[in-house]
Each structure stands twice: as C-alpha cells, then as structure tokens.
Structure 1
Amino acid sequence: MEQRHLGRTGLRVSRIGLGTLTWGRDTGEHDAADQLKAFWEAGGTLIDTADVYGGGEAEYLLGQLVERLIPRHELVIATKAGSVADPYRRFDGSRGHLLAALDASLARLATDYVDLWQVHAFDPDTPLEETLQALDIAVSSGRARYVGVSNYCGWQLAKAATWQLAGAGGRARLASTQMEYSLLQRGVEREVLPAARDLGVGLLPSSPLGRGVLTGKYRQGVPADSRGASERLAAFVEPYLDEDAARVVEAVAIAADGLAATPLQVALAWVRDRPGVTAPIVGARDARQLTAALSVEALSLPDEIRRALDDVSAPVHRYPDQDWSTL
C-alpha cells in the first residue's frame, strides 16, 4: 500500500488507516486479529483507536494482538484522549487529565510510546495553551512521537496549529486533524481543510463511507443486520438516509458500474485522493469487509468521474465564502 507523509512531518503512514471503534465491544478478539493481519499483509500501517473506544477495551485488545502477531515497529499506532464519561462534562482537555489518560493508554496498549497522540475534541473550559502543553510534554518525554487533534472546527484548528508553530523549538507541531469527511459530509471543506493545508496539518477522515451509506447497502431499505437497524447506532446512520444522500449514493453506484468497481471503492477512492487528505480511517465488521475496502488501492478515479461526484455532492457555501462583490 502507498505510504504518505502525515502533514508537514517526517511520519509516513499507509494511505488507508484501520479504525477500531467497535473493537472490544462489537468486534471480538478473533475478528480483530483477522482484521489486523489482513491490514498488515496488505501493507497497512496506521491503526486508529482511542481511550474511550469500548471503555478502553479497544486499546487493550490492540495491545494484546500486536504483542502476539506483528512487530511493534512496523505499525503506526494512533490513539486519542480527552473524551470523558461524565454527565456534566463531555470533554476534558486539562493537562492533568490528558497526561493521566496517556499513561493509561500506554499501559493498555502494552507499549512505551504511541506514534500519534490526538486530543479527541476541543474543551471550551480549559485554556487551549494548557491542552497544547500536554502535547508538548508527551513528545518531550518520549511517550508520543507525533501529536494532533480531532473534531476541532476551523478557527480552533488554526489557533492551535499556529500556537504550536509560534514556539521557538519547544513546541510539537500538529501533525494531524481527524474529522468526518465523505461524499455525504463535506463540511470540512469550508474552513477546516483550508486551514489544515495552509498550516501543514494532515487530514485523517473518519466515516469516509458516509457511516456505511455510501456502500449502497441502504438503497432498497435498511438491512436487518446493518448499523442502521441497530438500537444503538440507528441514530448515527439516520441523518444520511434522506433524499439528498440518496441522490449522491445513486451517482456513486452509477460510477461504480461504469468502472467495474463497487460503490465502496468509488466512495473511498474519492475521499482518499482529495487534496489535503492523508489517510481515511476505515472500520469493518470482519476481515472480509476490510479486504473489500483495502481493494481500493488499485483504483484511481478518472477526472470526469471525480468531477461528476464533486458536482452531485457539492455543499451549499454562501456567505462568507461567496464573492459578494460580484453580485
């Protein structure tokens, strides 16, 4: 699999990442092991997890599997901290919480360091410079090789990345930002992606298949064994089952037919090759699903197909993006 630099850093990662959101919860040890082996054998290196996935079980399972199956140095392990299970506070970006969470992650992952450590979300109740200081400490102490953020809007990302770049050698530049991005969710193109490209921050798209809708599985209804039919995840999928999304899905299906490919491959190739994108993060139920996603490596979309998909999925951006001086 092709490798790409993560942002304006020396870290190289596979251009498709493996997500572990369901590991330790819906995905058991056997299926997780099969996924990890299939991903590694395909040349994949970037594994994305978080301290809250499965209540910590995803990290623990990943740590156990890496120890048994794959040399640690051949993987790029990325984890996140900052989300909390607290009814009064969803995010905690304080220095104390983040560094304690990192130590706990390292213990579960059975490793001395993570390759990429990310703040899971912006905490409006903690000074940003305090949150960023935790990233600096993580790098200077050797517990993290590179750092990034997740779910930061445009101004938050720009402020954080600029603060880090303004430091005289003592601050760790942001390598990445992780945000949802797909043909059904192009909101990052308004401010986040331009800021990331300008500041040398690589984008790691989550839900690159539109929460599974872009695979085409919902074209004739909601399958009984799908996320859209599950009590826990139905609300996650439902926003992408409207008429606007259906038009995009049909366009993807038509493109796939013309290319002798699958809708999954077309949708994933589109987001993988967008300017500023480093590696979409793909989650799978089992190794078979993951292998289907990894088969996109051989596909590059023709320019006319890409432009057609751009047009049918184009978000409506008006003020201040539109040039009002011409009206």
Structure 2
Amino acid sequence: MDLEFVSLGDTGLQTSEIQFGTWRFGKETEEGNVEIGEDRAHQLLDTYAEHGGRFIDTADVYGGGTCEEWIGDWLSDRDRERYTIASKIYWQIREDDPNSRGTNRKNVRHRIDALLDRLGTDYVDVLYIHRWDDETPAREMMKTLNGLVEDGKVHYLGTSTLVPNEWKVAKANEIARREGWEPFTVAQPRYNLVDREVEGGYLEMTNDYGMAVCPWSPLGQGFLTGKYTREDGLVGESKAAESSRFREAYLIEENFEVLDELEAVADEVGATIAQTAIAYHMAHSAITAPIIGARIVEQLEENLGAAEVELSDEQVGRLQDAKGGPYSGI
C-alpha cells in the first residue's frame, strides 16, 4: 500500500494524503524518559517513506530541537527534493529573553537559520507560525515572513491552531494581498470527530483563500482509537491514567456516543476504529490531509492503513450526526 498524492491547497504542491507528525521525537516525560529516541524515530520515518509518505511535519521546539536534528540526519541519506518538510516557530526558547518568543523579526530570522541548520537543508517547504503573536503587528509579521520566501529559505507559509481567531489569519492575508507579499496558504488546526470547533467560520475562511487544511489530532489524543471505555470516565473517579483536563474534555457521554457510531462504521468497512477515524478526514471535502503520529512502527502501519478505507456518504453523515450534526461542506 502506497499513499497517494493530493493537492496542497492552491500552492501547486502535491502532498501525501496522510502526513507524518513527529512531535514525540525526543520528547521527555515528567519522569525524565524520552518517549521516542533517535533509533525508533528513524524506524518510523523509514516505515512512513516505505509506504510512499513524503510529508514530514515538525517544529523547532519538538524535543528541544533534537527532533529536527534527527530528521536532518535521516534526510542526509536521501533525496531531499522528494520530501516536503514543514516546521514551526513561536514558543520561547531562552529564559529571560522575551525576544526569543513570537513572530518579531529578530526572533523569526534567528529561528529560521537555526532550524535549517538542524534539518541540514537550505529551505523548508512550509513554515508555520505555531501560535499567533499579539505583540507583533500583523503587517510586521507578514513582511518578515515574506522576506524568508524571497530569500528562498521558505516556500510556503502556514498557520497552526488559531481557532477561533480566523479573522486574524484573514487580516494577515489581506495585508499580504495588498502589499504583494506571500500569504498564508496552509492551515493546521485541531480537528476530529469530537473536536469540531473549526466547522463554521474557520473552514469557510480557508476555503475562501484556497488554503490547504492539514489537521492535527485526528484521533482526539487517542480517544478515537477505542482504548477508553465509559467506565474509564463516567463512573466516579476516572480509572484512566490521564489528566483531569483530558477526562473532562474527552471522557464524556456525548463523545462516547460518537465512539459508538465510529465502532459501528468500522465494523461495516472491516477496519479498526483508528483507521476509520482517520479515513473520515480523507472523505471530508474541506480537509486536505490529516497529520498522524505514532509511538511504534506497528501503530504507524495501522494508521497508514486508513488510506485503504472507503467510507460512503451515508457513513460519513452518520459520523457527523453523532455529535453536532453535519458540516455543510461535505
């Protein structure tokens, strides 16, 4: 099974129908352990590439920068031009230095050079702003980002999260349009069958600008894999080893009703619950390609199997109706 390519919005680029997210590479747990070390990170990248995957998503703060270094080492033995690499900037990287945060020109120019060095490449295909910086005027930010495109260090610009602040993205794009600068052409919001805040103004905005939409968390932080039961969250104190924030957001009756329908559809198409949840994104007219992650190779292979799952319009409608009703864009 090889992943197919789909258009990345109006950029002209082709992207893998499932993108690979690397946020766990080099990530330390509270106990001081590393979730995914370098060897396994390379095994996961190998597996993704072997299935035809070509879009790798990272950020300069993942693993404190080691994530990009490991990706760069992996890329060094391959044809860089065959891969689309996306990274992100925003979060503060030096204590007691407020200028090492956000999208001010000093920080952006420093951060792009540092991340390119770690990746061992002359450019990234997509540079996301990881969050919106209210301290930097939109015009200043777009002028700086446009300079990176003109310098050849970045090909396309994207925004990560920014829901429900789609008006800020629209404002920035209108400034770019007026000045003849590069606009945001890729969006990376959280979206899945239980986290549906993008349905409405946000997806209308991305559609109007011809932006690609590449959601993170298509499995709802693991909830939409079926590994949680009602007894985990609905009977007294949760038995799940998760934060109270996770329990309050996910282990609630209305979400389990979605999970019930998802399991029913999964049985009908002969797929796992996780594969069916990912396949929903691939059947969604407003979504370009979901971003998936994995801790182990077997998990990644299962998730990539979503590319072989076909959902009917009726099944998609049932999944939509399970919480909140249908999105008119489907």
Query: Structure 2 counterpart of 1:250, which letter?
Result: D
Partner residue, 1:11: 13
Which deviates more from structure 2 when the two are superposed, residues 48-57 or residues 235-244?
235-244
> Does residue 1:268 correspond to 2:278, yes or no?
yes
Note the residue ranges of structure 1 that are not aligned, 5 or more in a row.
223-227, 322-327
Q: How does 1:303-318 map to 2 (within 5 A)?
A: 303-314=313-324
Partner residue, 1:157: 169
CA deviations on 1:204-250 (whole Å, 9 max, x unpaired) are 1000111111010112656xxxxx626xx674565211111111111
% identity of equivalent residues: 35
Partner residue, 1:58: 67
Q: 1:253 aligns with which of 227, 251, 263?
A: 263
Partner residue, 2:31: none
- Kept in 2, the 8 Å contact 1:91–1:122? The answer is no
Query: Structure 1 counterpart of 2:259, which letter?
Result: V
Mark the CA change 1:292 to 1:237 in structure 2 (over 3 Å): closer, same or farther: farther
SS at match of 2:311: coil
Following superposition, the deviation at residue 12 of structure 1 comes to 1.1
> Does residue 1:81 correspond to 2:83, yes or no?
no
Distance 1:234 1:55 in 2: 26
Distance 1:99 1:5 in 2: 29
Following superposition, the deviation at residue 273 of structure 1 comes to 2.4
Following superposition, the deviation at residue 316 of structure 1 comes to 11
Q: 1:284 aligns with which of 294, 305, 310?
A: 294
Following superposition, the deviation at residue 56 of structure 1 comes to 0.9
Query: Structure 2 counterpart of 1:9, which letter?
Result: T
CA RMSD of aligned residues (A): 2.3
Q: How does 1:76-225 map to 2 (within 5 A)?
A: 76-85=84-93, 92-152=102-162, 153-168=165-180, 171-219=181-229
Partner residue, 2:25: 23
SS at match of 1:31: helix
Distance 2:96 2:216 in 1: 25
Following superposition, the deviation at residue 193 of structure 1 comes to 0.8
Query: Structure 2 counterpart of 1:77, which letter?
Result: I
Distance 1:87 1:273 in 2: 46
Query: Structure 1 counterpart of 2:48, which letter?
Result: F
Following superposition, the deviation at residue 313 of structure 1 comes to 2.0
SS at match of 1:206: coil
- Kept in 2, the 8 Å contact 1:269–1:299? The answer is yes
Query: Structure 1 counterpart of 2:24, which letter?
Result: T
Mark the CA change 1:164 to 1:236 in structure 2 (over 3 Å): closer, same or farther: farther
Partner residue, 1:225: none
CA deviations on 1:51-93 (whole Å, 9 max, x unpaired) are 111111111111111113x321111000000122568969511
- Kept in 1, the 8 Å contact 2:116–2:124? The answer is yes
CA deviations on 1:248-296 (whole Å, 9 max, x unpaired) are 1111011111211111111111122222211111010011111101111
- Kept in 1, the 8 Å contact 2:283–2:316? The answer is no
- Kept in 1, the 8 Å contact 2:185–2:209? The answer is no
Distance 1:290 1:316 in 2: 29
- Kept in 1, the 8 Å contact 2:157–2:185? The answer is yes
Distance 1:99 1:54 in 2: 21
- Kept in 1, the 8 Å contact 2:185–2:210? The answer is yes
- Kept in 2, the 8 Å contact 1:83–1:91? The answer is yes
> Does residue 1:299 correspond to 2:301, yes or no?
no
Mark the CA change 1:289 to 1:82 in structure 2 (over 3 Å): closer, same or farther: same
Query: Structure 2 counterpart of 1:295, which letter?
Result: G
Note the residue ranges of structure 2 that are not aligned, 5 or more in a row.
28-34, 233-239
Distance 2:246 2:75 in 1: 30
Distance 1:27 1:220 in 2: 30
Which deviates more from structure 2 when the two are superposed, residues 91-100 or residues 113-122?
91-100
- Kept in 1, the 8 Å contact 2:172–2:183? The answer is no
SS at match of 2:47: helix
SS at match of 2:310: coil
- Kept in 2, the 8 Å contact 1:91–1:121? The answer is no
Q: TM-score, normalization: structure 1?
A: 0.88
